Structure formats: C-alpha cells, structure tokens
A = this chain, B = another copy of it.
Amino acid sequence: MEQLNKLIDHIVSRVNINLREPLVDVGPYVSDLIPRDSFALYYAFYSITATHPLKFHFRHSSVGGTYFLGKCEVDHSILYKSDIRGDELKRKGSVVKCNGQDIKLRDDEVISIRDSYLMKTLVHNNSHDPENLETFKIANTVSLHYANIHGTDVEGCFLEPFSSVDLSVCHDCAVGAFSYVQAGELSHRRIKPGRVWVKAPGLFEFKYRFPEEVLKKYIRMENYRPVGILMDFFENKKEDFVPIYSAVHPENIIEADGASVSPYAVIKGACSVDKNVLVAQRAYLEDSRLGPGANAQENCYIINSTYEGEDVTAHGGKVIHCNLGRKVFVGFNSFLNGKEDAKITIGSSSIVMPHTIIDAQEAINIPENCLVWGYITRQEDLELHSITLDEFASIKGQFQLGNMSFEGIGAKFVDGFRHRIDHILEENGAFYDGSEETMGHAQKTQDISFNILQPYPEGELKGLYPELAINPLEPSDL
C-alpha cells in the first residue's frame, strides 16, 4: 500500500504546482477520499472489439473500477470507477479541417492520462484541440465525482463534483461543483460552483448561474466532500450495479434490431428498447421505454419514463417520470426529477441545457422546440427558464431572462446545438439502415469482450497494477 500512498501524494503536488496560489489546494479533497483498501478490491475493464482501435498501456497506476474503450495510455495515475471512452478517436490518415485548412493525421489519436486523479469521472473523446489532433491529453488533472470531460487537453485542472468541461481546452484552472464550462482555454482561473457558461469567441456567450441556496440543496462541498440531493441519488442506486460488476459475462437482458444494451447497464422492472437504441455501460434503466434511435449514455438514469425516439440523454443525465417527444436532448448531468403525481412532459425537438434541474412540484409541460435551462420546480418557472428555439435563433446582441444572459448571434448557438445533437445521434447509430456508413456505437458495440484487470492484492504494491500493455496483432503476425 506504501506505493499507492506515494502516488496519491505525487499527483496532489503535481496538480497544486500547476494550479498555484490562490486557486486551491487539492490535497484535502483527495487524501482519504477513497478508502485505501478499496483500491485493492476493484477491477478495471478494457474492451476488445473487432471495430475499435486497440491499444492500452499503463504503468504504476491504479485504475480500479474503471472502464476503457479504445486507445489509451495511463501513467502514474489513479482512475477510480471512471469511464474512459475512446470510441470516437480519430484514425490515422483521416483529415481534420482547422481554420479552413485540411490536416491529415499521421497517427491514430490516443487518450493519454498522466499524473491524474479521476474519481467517477466520465472522459469522452475526441480531441477538438487543433494543436493536439493525435493526443487526447489530460495530464495532471484532479477530477471528482461524476464530472464530465469531453474534448481534450485539460492539464493541471481541478474539477469539483458534477462539473463538466465540454469540448474543452482548459489548462490550469479550478471548476466548481455542478459548473458547466464550454469556453476553450481558461488559464489560471477559478470558476465558481453552479455556473453554466457556453462561449464561442466572436459568435456568442451564454451564461447562467444557479442561486446559491438552490445549489446547496443539490450539491455542495462540506469538509471537502460532496453532499446534497444529487449525491444521495447516486448513493441510493449504487447497490444495483454490484451484481453486474461481479460477473465476467453479465447478460444482455433486452434486445432489438441494431440496438446495443450494454451488459454493464442496470435494467430493472419492465423496460423496452426499440431499434438502433444505445444503452451505454453504467446507464440505469427502470420501467422505461426507449423509442427507435434513442440513447442512454454513461451514468444516466432513466426511470418511469418514455422516449418517443432519437432522444439523447447525455452523460450523467437523470430522467425520472418524464415523457419525451421525438429528438429531445437532455444535457450532461441534468436532473429531471418528475414524480408519480407531477410528471414532466417535454415536446419534440426541445433542448434541455446541460446542468438543468427540474424538480417538479406539479406537472410540468415543456412545449416542442424549446430551450430550457436553470432551476425549475413549477410550470410558471418556465417563463424565466425557457424560450422557443425560433425566438432564440432570432436574437442578435444582448438578451437577458432571469438569471440567464446571452450575447451574440442566437442562430449560431441554436444551429451549433442542433448540429451537435445530430452528430451524437449519428455517432451512436440512431439512423442505422443496414449500411456500413450509417453504423454507429449501437451497432459497433454489440460484440464486445472485456479484459478484466486486477491490482496487486497485498504487499507494498497493494492497490497498484503491474505494468500492462494490450496491442493489436501486427499484420506480420497474420
């Protein structure tokens, strides 16, 4: 165990040096966060498929409970029950457009994590940093419970629980709990908790900040540990995952043409999926129905709900007692908490912003084609927390509604969002028609096997893993 303790100290000092005063000392957040014995109890998963780019290498790391898909390098890192998805990594020879130029990749893109400490974090490719097209870097980031990292770089950052850094080049900064940042480079900066910030330089800037009292109820740090309704929600469901993570080959319970339901997802009660549905690993489905092409991403919870089809529940989205029309997007880490007697209905093509909380005290009905954000408990709250997408698209200049402010070209924001939703559906295989071009994750992950990796069980190295490399067979072998 001695070496594990050294490694934790090492990571803390690396991150602290990068963050520098007065940002934050990550030590108290990290030390003793995970019971030291737990490191030796969990195991990691690395997937083998016929379609994903294979390469895995780590050394002097602890990767307990972590799940890897696609090319990965991990050095001197602790990844604890994190999901590292490398299934959209760019391939060697593919061409990327950067500022009007075509750049051809000289290598396959690789996720590289080094001196990092990721706790239940979701990391998703692919790199949007034109300077590092072949490397999805994380460097010496510390990221806590249920944070999301999509995009690349990040480096010496500290991400508090339920924060998201999206499509992001972040570098040295600290992001508060439940903050959503999609704003490029944030050099040596601290982002306060509960902030939703989307910025495209020269085009637009969207800002929302949760009222402090509200945020505290759902997620706050107490003695360096996260508490609140969101943490309780996850705590309560934890046990449901134990049986599937104890089996070498957990069984797929529900199936449909072109659909893929991960054997590492929890399926409870009466659930059904339609064709081309993707239910990712660590997703949770209970008494719910997913229409054609819908997808349920990692760490999302869909309970007592129905999806008409082509709906997206992004990483960490929680959808309870909701009825979703066609092509509804529920953003990262949103919490849509309908009740048996206070259901939430969302009309087709509406977009629920990342990090939105709808905690229904009465039935709530969101019309078609709307943008929704912030904190909503009653129907009347929608007045200050939603707008039709058509209205939003017509904004030019400054716009304010309640705690939300927008500046720039609304059409660019709306088009960008719609384009991204289409891209997500496409990548996930929602439009699969039997042809190879329309294949997505739902089709490509139907046949998957896992290497299950375990650490040293005792001794000085307890909780660490031996050096391990998995490589594809060379053409010369065949």
Contact with B along A48-64 (1 / 0, CB 8 A): 11110010000110000
**Residues A467 and B461 in contact in the complex (CB < 8 Å), given A3-B478, A48-B456, A246-B247:** no
Interface check A222, CB cutoff 8 A: no
Closest B residue, CB atoms, query A452: B452
CA distance A59 to B465 in the complex (A): 21
Closest B residue, CB atoms, query A468: B470
CA distance A76 to B477 in the complex (A): 9
**Residues A447 and B457 in contact in the complex (CB < 8 Å), given A247-B248, A472-B467:** yes
B50, A454: Cβ atoms under 8 Å? no
A451, B453: Cβ atoms under 8 Å? yes
CA distance A167 to B227 in the complex (A): 62
A150 CB to nearest chain B CB (Å): 27
Partner of A471, one of B450, B459, B464, B467: B467
Q: Inside 8 A of A24's CB, which chain B residues have their CB?
A: none
A330 CB to nearest chain B CB (Å): 31
Q: Inside 8 A of A6's CB, which chain B residues have their CB?
A: 478
Partner of A477, one of B49, B59, B248: B59
Interface check A473, CB cutoff 8 A: yes
Interface check A117, CB cutoff 8 A: no
CA distance A359 to B434 in the complex (A): 60
Interface check A132, CB cutoff 8 A: no
Contact with B along A437-453 (1 / 0, CB 8 A): 00000000001111111
CA distance A449 to B447 in the complex (A): 26
Q: Inside 8 A of A49's CB, which chain B residues have their CB?
A: 456-458
Q: Inside 8 A of A469's CB, which chain B residues have their CB?
A: 467-469, 471
Scan residues 233-264 of chain A and give those whose CB is less than 8 A from a CB of chain B. Answer: 245-249
A49 CB to nearest chain B CB (Å): 7
CA distance A456 to B451 in the complex (A): 10
Interface check A354, CB cutoff 8 A: no
Interface check A462, CB cutoff 8 A: yes
B468, A59: Cβ atoms under 8 Å? no
A48, B466: Cβ atoms under 8 Å? yes
Contact with B along A1-23 (1 / 0, CB 8 A): 00100100000000000000000
CA distance A450 to B457 in the complex (A): 9
B247, A477: Cβ atoms under 8 Å? no
Interface check A455, CB cutoff 8 A: yes
B477, A473: Cβ atoms under 8 Å? no
**Residues A467 and B473 in contact in the complex (CB < 8 Å), given A246-B247, A248-B248, A462-B50:** yes
Q: Inside 8 A of A471's CB, which chain B residues have their CB?
A: 466-469
Q: Inside 8 A of A448's CB, which chain B residues have their CB?
A: 457
Q: Inside 8 A of A392's CB, which chain B residues have their CB?
A: none
Q: Inside 8 A of A459's CB, which chain B residues have their CB?
A: 50-51
Interface check A162, CB cutoff 8 A: no
A473, B60: Cβ atoms under 8 Å? yes
Interface check A43, CB cutoff 8 A: yes
**Which of A76, A451, A468 has the most chain B CB within a 10 Å cutoff?**
A451
Contact with B along A194-212 (1 / 0, CB 8 A): 0000000000000000000
**Residues A461 and B60 in contact in the complex (CB < 8 Å), given A247-B248, A248-B248, A466-B473:** no
Q: Inside 8 A of A451's CB, which chain B residues have their CB?
A: 451-454, 468
CA distance A338 to B50 in the complex (A): 50
Closest B residue, CB atoms, query A465: B48
Q: Inside 8 A of A457's CB, which chain B residues have their CB?
A: 48-50, 447-449
Partner of A458, one of B50, B460, B464, B465: B50
Q: Inside 8 A of A460's CB, which chain B residues have their CB?
A: 50
**Which of A245, A449, A469 has the most chain B CB within a 10 Å cutoff?**
A449
Partner of A454, one of B3, B43, B48, B76: B48
A6-B478, A43-B249, A451-B454 known; 16 other A-B pairs, CB under 8 Å? A3-B478, A49-B456, A50-B460, A50-B461, A50-B462, A54-B466, A60-B478, A76-B477, A447-B458, A449-B454, A451-B453, A452-B452, A452-B454, A461-B473, A466-B470, A467-B469
Q: List residues of A whose CB falls within 8 A of some B CB.
A: 3, 6, 40, 43, 48-51, 54, 59-60, 76, 245-249, 447-462, 464-474, 477-478
Q: Nearest 6 pairs between A and B by C-beta? A: A50-B459, A449-B454, A452-B452, A447-B458, A447-B457, A60-B477
